[in-house]
Chains A and B, each alone.
Chain A
Amino acid sequence: MASYGMVIDLRSCVGCQACSAACALENQTPYWSDKWRTKVKDIQTGQYPNTGRYFVPTICMHCEEPACMTVCPSKATFKNDDGFVLVNYDTCLGCKACMAACPYGARYVYDKNDVRQAKEVYGEAAQHTKVHIDKCTFCQDRIARGMEPACVSTCPTISRMVGDLDDPASAVAKAVSSGLAKPLRPDLGTNPRVYYIF
């Protein structure tokens, strides 16, 4: 089994939010409630005249040691064979323990208003028919078909790369092993599989 990971290059991200839009269309995320599986944060640092500004695309880190999975009382949050952290919509209680535990703010409630709206917008094709806690799936269905996640294939500046972290020849593995790409908050012990180049 491949161990998929993602590298996001902050040096080239322009904050266009194309990834958010592509993800919303692919995964029917409730954009009408301003809830996204991936969103680009617009960060300003420092004080005049020493200021900085950069864009940080946020996404579920699909951690090796996911805090969200540990706290889930119904085991609705689980890791599949490829290491993706997923949610079983049928057994999710909606208790929000995973939302509180996630240090990356990667989860949100797909509430009853969102489910109703999704049915109105997508009709029979609606993917989310039950209230649940929602998050990025790494577009695992696209990965299974040999495609890249929607956010990766859409990025106009090629700031996102996806690949097998166990394959030394992959661009993702090279960026990580060289130390160029780093995880966010490694001190929290969650071992994220999404890395950033600063």
Chain B
Amino acid sequence: MAKPMHLEHQEAYEWPVSVYLFFGGFGGALIALAFIFHFFAATQPMIGLSVISGLVLFAIAGMFLVFFDLERPLNAVYSLNNFTKSGISWDVILIVLNYIGAILYVLPEYPNLPIIGGIGQALAPFQLFFGAIGASAGFLFPIISGGLLAGPESIPLWHTPALPLLYLVTSFELGLAFIGSLFPVSGLVFTAFTGGIFALSLLTFGISFAYLEHTHNGPVEAKEGMHRMLKTFRFVLLYPLLGVLFPLVLSAYLLFGGAVSGWEFPALAATLFLGGFAVRNCVILNGIETYPWPY
């Protein structure tokens, strides 16, 4: 039975890569945000918990899922030793720098722990230096990993500079909401957090719109992929509605004097979490479509 013309899905990347992109960016953003808060006299629990959460998420993302997604992971060692200029190698180098920088940065925050406390005390003079390394790697990770997807011209749905930017901004937006929901903030700090989320929501909205324009005017794969995503109820509910519009409206409401009842940051974190994962997963799954024959 002949099949009608349709896009052909390639069995290449599945959910582990989406999780890697999502938690990698989220974890990196948490470490970078903790480092930024350091300059605004953030408390030890805020720095410590943010960095440790970031490290745990990064570990899930950077080590386990991607490592086990490789068919022959041990060959990666050969690759890293011999071809350090490849994009994936840079990604791994950033992950390693992020680990080392973040661990050495957070150790001085726990001077009372046995053994580790002593090491932390010795590292204390260099804390900001290590923090800068971890934060820079955490900041660059979503850009580099998004850039890896955006690079090949042969996948039009991914081939746009909007993708790395979208990954960067949504990671930091989620990181801010996550930290805001972990720690009770009030007064000027609350306004700063809300303002940050509002500004990042606006950026997310703008980048998403640019991405939509790109796909609408792009090659048939990009257009078809985006149409397919927009016809999926789960995607529309999770990303445009819960992941973009809801945080924008709620943060604007809070910023302009709306009543605060304590559920706002957890709600923002939850919706941004769902939206952030949905956009990465759907873009990954709908990108690997080929339409090589004449149309």
Residues of A bordering B, CB below 8 Å: 41-45, 53, 56, 58, 67, 70-75, 91-97, 99-105, 107-109, 111-112, 130-133, 184-185, 187-190, 198
Contacts and interface: CB of A to CB of B under 8 A. Distances in A.
Given A74-B78, A102-B10, A67 B154 contact: yes
A73 B66 CA distance: 14
Nearest to A42: B2
Contacts of B71: 92-96, 109, 111-112, 131-133
Contacts of B11: 99, 108-109
Contacts, number: 123
B136 to A, nearest CB: 22
B72 A132 contact: yes
Interface size class of B (residues with CB under 8 A): 35 or more
B75 A93 contact: yes
Tell me which of B3, B82, B153, B287 has the highest count of chain A C-beta atoms within 10 A of its own C-beta.
B153
A130 B10 contact: no
B10 A100 contact: yes
A56 B5 CA distance: 12
28 contacts: A41-B293, A43-B3, A44-B5, A56-B293, A67-B152, A67-B153, A70-B151, A71-B148, A71-B151, A72-B86, A73-B86, A73-B87, A74-B76, A74-B78, A74-B79, A75-B79, A92-B72, A93-B71, A93-B76, A94-B71, A96-B71, A97-B148, A100-B152, A104-B292, A105-B10, A109-B11, A187-B219, A188-B219
B77 to A, nearest CB: 10
Tell me which of A74, A75, A132, A189 has the highest count of chain B C-beta atoms within 10 A of its own C-beta.
A74
Contacts of A93: 70-73, 75-76, 79
Given A74-B75, A101-B155, A103-B154, A94 B70 contact: yes
A10 to B, nearest CB: 9
Nearest to B149: A100
Interface in B140-154: 148, 151-154
A144 B76 CA distance: 32
B88 interface: yes
Contacts of B12: 96, 99-100
Contacts of B76: 73-74, 93, 95
B294 interface: yes
B253 interface: no
Query: Taking chain B's interface residues, is the majority helix, strand, or loop, or is none over half, making it mixed?
Result: loop
B161 to A, nearest CB: 17
Contact of A189 (B69, B72, B153): B153
B88 A97 contact: yes
Contacts of A44: 2-5
A101 to B, nearest CB: 4
B103 to A, nearest CB: 26
A96 B17 CA distance: 11
Interface in B237-295: 287-288, 290-294
B83 interface: yes
B37 interface: no
B13 interface: yes
A73 B73 CA distance: 12
Closest 8 CB pairs of A and B: A94-B71, A74-B79, A44-B2, A73-B88, A103-B154, A99-B12, A100-B12, A73-B86
A79 B273 CA distance: 43
Contacts of A130: 72
Contacts of B75: 74, 91-94
Given A74-B78, A91-B75, A95-B88, A43 B83 contact: no
